[in-house]
Amino acid sequence: MSVRPKNSRTIGHGLTLRQTKELIHELFLSKNKSDEQCIAKKQARETMEQHMYTFLNQRYGLKQLIVDWAAALIGAIKHFSPVDHEVKLFGKILKNSTDEEFWLVQLHVKATI
């Protein structure tokens, strides 16, 4: 994660809105790569929640760090969802109440506006 910028709102473990969104984007990039590998090997894909833990395990390896980062991300999602639509959408995808592919639709709409 990058250094916390001045005058940014932070929560829990110090995640700012910017850091939360960066982590979400990193998760989606990792998930897309993982999905491609699963399709090539004809294996079942992970849910975003499952992949979040896989991603954090690959990144940090230590159980306590994985739990801390997952808690920080979930706390940031709860905190920033009312003010940021990308964070809110990711929260819904994480709970598996919205299809992951909707993220791509949102990116396409954002790019065309």
Residues 6+ apart with CB under 8 A from 76: 11, 12, 15, 17, 19, 20, 87
Instruction: Report the predicted TM-score, pTM, of the whole model to 2 decimal places.
Output: 0.80
Dump pLDDT digits (tens) for 56-112.
999 999 999 999 999 999 999 999 999 998 999 999 999 999 888 877 777 778 788
